[in-house]
Amino acid sequence: MTGLLQTGCSEDASLTLQIPEDGFEVVQHIPADAEGRDQNTLYLSPRSIKPKEFNTPELNTLIDSMYAVMIRKAGVGIAANQLGKRLQIFMIEAKVDNPRYQVLGPVEKQVFINPIITKVSKARKNFWHGCLSAHGEKRGNVASFEWIEYECQNQKGEIQRGKLDGFAAVIFQHEYRHLMKGTYLDRANHFLPKEELDKKLDTGELPFFESATDTLPLLIEGYKLGISLEDY
Protein backbone atom coordinates (compact mmCIF):
# COMPACT_ATOMS: atom_id res chain seq x y z
CA MET A 1 0.00 0.00 0.00
CA THR A 2 2.82 2.40 0.88
CA GLY A 3 4.55 1.64 -2.39
CA LEU A 4 1.37 2.43 -4.33
CA LEU A 5 0.96 5.74 -2.57
CA GLN A 6 4.55 6.76 -3.23
CA THR A 7 4.26 5.80 -6.87
CA GLY A 8 1.06 7.76 -7.39
CA CYS A 9 2.16 10.96 -5.62
CA SER A 10 5.18 12.45 -7.33
CA GLU A 11 6.28 15.93 -6.31
CA ASP A 12 5.88 18.76 -8.81
CA ALA A 13 9.45 19.84 -9.56
CA SER A 14 8.30 23.39 -10.33
CA LEU A 15 7.28 23.79 -6.68
CA THR A 16 10.63 22.70 -5.22
CA LEU A 17 13.90 24.55 -4.63
CA GLN A 18 15.79 21.90 -6.58
CA ILE A 19 17.81 23.03 -9.59
CA PRO A 20 17.37 20.96 -12.79
CA GLU A 21 20.32 18.70 -13.63
CA ASP A 22 20.70 20.38 -17.02
CA GLY A 23 20.46 23.88 -15.55
CA PHE A 24 17.87 26.54 -16.19
CA GLU A 25 16.32 27.65 -19.46
CA VAL A 26 14.24 30.82 -19.63
CA VAL A 27 10.55 29.97 -20.02
CA GLN A 28 8.96 31.78 -22.96
CA HIS A 29 5.60 33.53 -23.23
CA ILE A 30 2.66 31.65 -24.76
CA PRO A 31 -0.29 33.65 -26.18
CA ALA A 32 -3.60 33.46 -24.33
CA ASP A 33 -5.28 31.39 -27.06
CA ALA A 34 -2.35 29.00 -27.63
CA GLU A 35 -2.13 25.39 -26.56
CA GLY A 36 0.04 24.71 -23.51
CA ARG A 37 -0.45 28.02 -21.74
CA ASP A 38 -2.24 26.30 -18.86
CA GLN A 39 0.94 24.29 -18.24
CA ASN A 40 3.39 27.19 -18.58
CA THR A 41 4.87 28.29 -15.24
CA LEU A 42 4.54 31.94 -16.27
CA TYR A 43 0.78 31.49 -15.98
CA LEU A 44 0.51 29.25 -12.92
CA SER A 45 0.27 30.50 -9.33
CA PRO A 46 3.61 30.57 -7.47
CA ARG A 47 3.77 29.40 -3.88
CA SER A 48 5.32 31.31 -1.00
CA ILE A 49 8.65 30.31 0.51
CA LYS A 50 8.05 28.49 3.80
CA PRO A 51 9.72 29.35 7.13
CA LYS A 52 11.78 26.14 7.14
CA GLU A 53 13.21 26.94 3.69
CA PHE A 54 14.83 30.24 4.62
CA ASN A 55 18.58 30.41 5.19
CA THR A 56 19.10 26.98 3.66
CA PRO A 57 21.75 25.94 1.11
CA GLU A 58 18.96 24.98 -1.29
CA LEU A 59 17.38 28.43 -1.27
CA ASN A 60 20.69 30.26 -1.47
CA THR A 61 21.89 28.09 -4.36
CA LEU A 62 18.62 28.64 -6.23
CA ILE A 63 18.93 32.41 -5.87
CA ASP A 64 22.58 32.33 -6.96
CA SER A 65 21.57 30.33 -10.02
CA MET A 66 18.77 32.78 -10.87
CA TYR A 67 21.25 35.64 -10.66
CA ALA A 68 23.72 33.83 -12.92
CA VAL A 69 21.06 33.40 -15.60
CA MET A 70 20.00 37.05 -15.32
CA ILE A 71 23.58 38.24 -15.79
CA ARG A 72 24.26 35.83 -18.64
CA LYS A 73 21.16 37.05 -20.48
CA ALA A 74 21.93 40.74 -19.76
CA GLY A 75 18.65 41.14 -17.92
CA VAL A 76 17.85 43.67 -15.23
CA GLY A 77 15.46 41.41 -13.34
CA ILE A 78 14.28 37.83 -13.19
CA ALA A 79 11.49 35.94 -11.46
CA ALA A 80 11.57 32.30 -10.41
CA ASN A 81 8.67 31.30 -12.65
CA GLN A 82 10.65 32.55 -15.66
CA LEU A 83 12.96 29.63 -14.92
CA GLY A 84 10.22 27.07 -14.40
CA LYS A 85 9.95 27.51 -10.63
CA ARG A 86 6.56 28.45 -9.22
CA LEU A 87 8.06 30.27 -6.26
CA GLN A 88 7.57 33.81 -4.96
CA ILE A 89 11.09 35.03 -5.60
CA PHE A 90 12.46 37.68 -7.91
CA MET A 91 15.46 39.96 -8.08
CA ILE A 92 16.43 43.22 -9.75
CA GLU A 93 19.72 44.84 -10.69
CA ALA A 94 20.87 47.25 -13.40
CA LYS A 95 24.60 47.74 -13.57
CA VAL A 96 26.23 50.96 -14.70
CA ASP A 97 27.44 49.31 -17.91
CA ASN A 98 24.16 47.55 -18.77
CA PRO A 99 23.92 47.81 -22.59
CA ARG A 100 20.15 48.36 -22.66
CA TYR A 101 19.31 50.88 -19.98
CA GLN A 102 22.38 52.99 -19.23
CA VAL A 103 20.37 56.18 -19.64
CA LEU A 104 18.20 55.31 -16.64
CA GLY A 105 21.10 54.77 -14.27
CA PRO A 106 22.10 51.83 -12.06
CA VAL A 107 19.79 49.85 -9.78
CA GLU A 108 21.14 48.10 -6.71
CA LYS A 109 20.87 44.32 -6.58
CA GLN A 110 17.94 43.28 -4.39
CA VAL A 111 16.21 39.95 -3.83
CA PHE A 112 12.50 39.91 -2.95
CA ILE A 113 10.89 36.83 -1.38
CA ASN A 114 7.15 36.59 -0.66
CA PRO A 115 6.73 40.24 -1.73
CA ILE A 116 3.68 42.41 -1.05
CA ILE A 117 3.08 45.92 -2.40
CA THR A 118 1.82 48.12 0.42
CA LYS A 119 1.57 51.58 -1.14
CA VAL A 120 1.82 53.17 -4.60
CA SER A 121 2.01 56.65 -6.09
CA LYS A 122 -0.90 58.32 -7.83
CA ALA A 123 1.43 59.27 -10.67
CA ARG A 124 2.28 56.74 -13.37
CA LYS A 125 5.10 56.51 -15.89
CA ASN A 126 5.11 54.96 -19.33
CA PHE A 127 7.76 52.44 -20.30
CA TRP A 128 8.41 50.26 -23.34
CA HIS A 129 9.02 46.79 -21.97
CA GLY A 130 10.97 43.87 -23.30
CA CYS A 131 11.52 40.62 -21.42
CA LEU A 132 13.79 37.60 -21.21
CA SER A 133 10.58 35.55 -21.52
CA ALA A 134 9.55 37.39 -24.69
CA HIS A 135 12.51 36.60 -26.92
CA GLY A 136 11.87 37.85 -30.44
CA GLU A 137 8.65 39.63 -29.44
CA LYS A 138 7.90 43.31 -29.99
CA ARG A 139 8.33 45.83 -27.18
CA GLY A 140 5.11 46.85 -25.43
CA ASN A 141 4.13 50.18 -23.87
CA VAL A 142 2.45 50.00 -20.46
CA ALA A 143 2.19 52.16 -17.36
CA SER A 144 3.70 51.50 -13.97
CA PHE A 145 3.48 53.42 -10.71
CA GLU A 146 6.12 56.12 -10.31
CA TRP A 147 7.02 54.68 -6.92
CA ILE A 148 5.97 51.75 -4.78
CA GLU A 149 6.43 50.68 -1.17
CA TYR A 150 6.84 47.00 -0.42
CA GLU A 151 7.24 44.38 2.26
CA CYS A 152 9.10 41.13 1.68
CA GLN A 153 11.55 38.71 3.26
CA ASN A 154 15.24 38.30 2.62
CA GLN A 155 17.10 34.99 2.26
CA LYS A 156 17.29 34.65 6.05
CA GLY A 157 13.53 35.12 6.37
CA GLU A 158 13.84 38.58 7.90
CA ILE A 159 11.08 41.08 7.08
CA GLN A 160 12.25 43.89 4.80
CA ARG A 161 10.35 47.09 4.03
CA GLY A 162 11.29 49.76 1.57
CA LYS A 163 10.41 52.18 -1.20
CA LEU A 164 11.52 52.13 -4.83
CA ASP A 165 11.15 54.82 -7.46
CA GLY A 166 12.40 55.50 -10.96
CA PHE A 167 13.80 52.60 -12.94
CA ALA A 168 13.96 50.35 -9.86
CA ALA A 169 10.19 50.69 -9.40
CA VAL A 170 9.61 49.79 -13.06
CA ILE A 171 11.72 46.63 -12.84
CA PHE A 172 10.06 45.64 -9.55
CA GLN A 173 6.60 45.93 -11.12
CA HIS A 174 7.73 44.07 -14.24
CA GLU A 175 8.88 41.13 -12.12
CA TYR A 176 5.84 41.37 -9.87
CA ARG A 177 3.69 41.00 -12.97
CA HIS A 178 5.35 37.63 -13.52
CA LEU A 179 4.39 36.46 -10.03
CA MET A 180 0.85 37.72 -10.72
CA LYS A 181 0.90 35.29 -13.66
CA GLY A 182 1.67 37.09 -16.87
CA THR A 183 3.92 39.37 -18.89
CA TYR A 184 3.70 42.83 -20.43
CA LEU A 185 2.46 41.11 -23.59
CA ASP A 186 -0.82 40.37 -21.80
CA ARG A 187 -1.34 44.03 -20.85
CA ALA A 188 0.03 46.26 -23.61
CA ASN A 189 -2.03 47.51 -26.55
CA HIS A 190 0.80 49.26 -28.38
CA PHE A 191 3.73 47.25 -29.76
CA LEU A 192 6.78 48.07 -31.87
CA PRO A 193 9.80 46.10 -33.10
CA LYS A 194 12.89 47.02 -31.09
CA GLU A 195 14.73 48.57 -34.04
CA GLU A 196 11.80 50.83 -34.95
CA LEU A 197 11.18 51.73 -31.31
CA ASP A 198 14.82 52.70 -30.76
CA LYS A 199 14.71 55.09 -33.72
CA LYS A 200 11.48 56.74 -32.54
CA LEU A 201 12.83 57.12 -29.02
CA ASP A 202 16.13 58.57 -30.24
CA THR A 203 14.34 61.23 -32.31
CA GLY A 204 11.86 62.04 -29.54
CA GLU A 205 8.93 60.94 -31.70
CA LEU A 206 7.72 58.71 -28.86
CA PRO A 207 7.65 59.48 -25.12
CA PHE A 208 9.93 57.45 -22.90
CA PHE A 209 9.55 57.25 -19.16
CA GLU A 210 7.22 60.23 -19.01
CA SER A 211 3.95 60.79 -17.17
CA ALA A 212 1.28 58.35 -18.33
CA THR A 213 -2.45 58.90 -18.56
CA ASP A 214 -5.07 56.51 -17.22
CA THR A 215 -5.71 55.30 -20.78
CA LEU A 216 -2.36 53.50 -20.91
CA PRO A 217 -2.77 49.94 -19.57
CA LEU A 218 -1.36 49.42 -16.09
CA LEU A 219 1.21 46.63 -15.89
CA ILE A 220 0.03 45.23 -12.55
CA GLU A 221 -3.67 45.89 -13.10
CA GLY A 222 -5.85 43.84 -10.73
CA TYR A 223 -3.51 43.77 -7.77
CA LYS A 224 -4.89 45.05 -4.48
CA LEU A 225 -2.52 46.71 -2.05
CA GLY A 226 -1.41 44.67 0.93
CA ILE A 227 -2.73 41.39 -0.51
CA SER A 228 -0.45 38.37 -0.67
CA LEU A 229 0.03 36.70 -4.03
CA GLU A 230 -1.83 33.65 -2.72
CA ASP A 231 -4.90 35.82 -2.23
CA TYR A 232 -4.53 37.64 -5.55
pLDDT, mean over the chain = 92
Q: Does 3.90.45.10 match the CATH number of domain 25-202?
A: yes
Number of residues that this document lists for the chain: 232
Nearest by Cα to 124 from 110, 100, 143: 143
Distance in angstroms (rounded) separating the CA atoms of residues 206 and 192: 11
**151 assigned to active site:** no
pLDDT per position as a tens digit, 4-63: 344 344 679 999 999 999 999 999 999 989 999 999 999 999 999 999 999 999 999 999
pLDDT per position as a tens digit, 94-116: 988 766 666 688 999 999 999 99
Which is the catalytic residue, given 93, 137, 149, 175? 175
Claim: this prediction has a pTM higher than 0.85: yes
pLDDT of residue 207: 85
The domain ranges of the chain are 25-202
Burial environment of residue 208 by CB neighbours within 10 A (0 to 12, 13 to 18, 19 or more)? middle
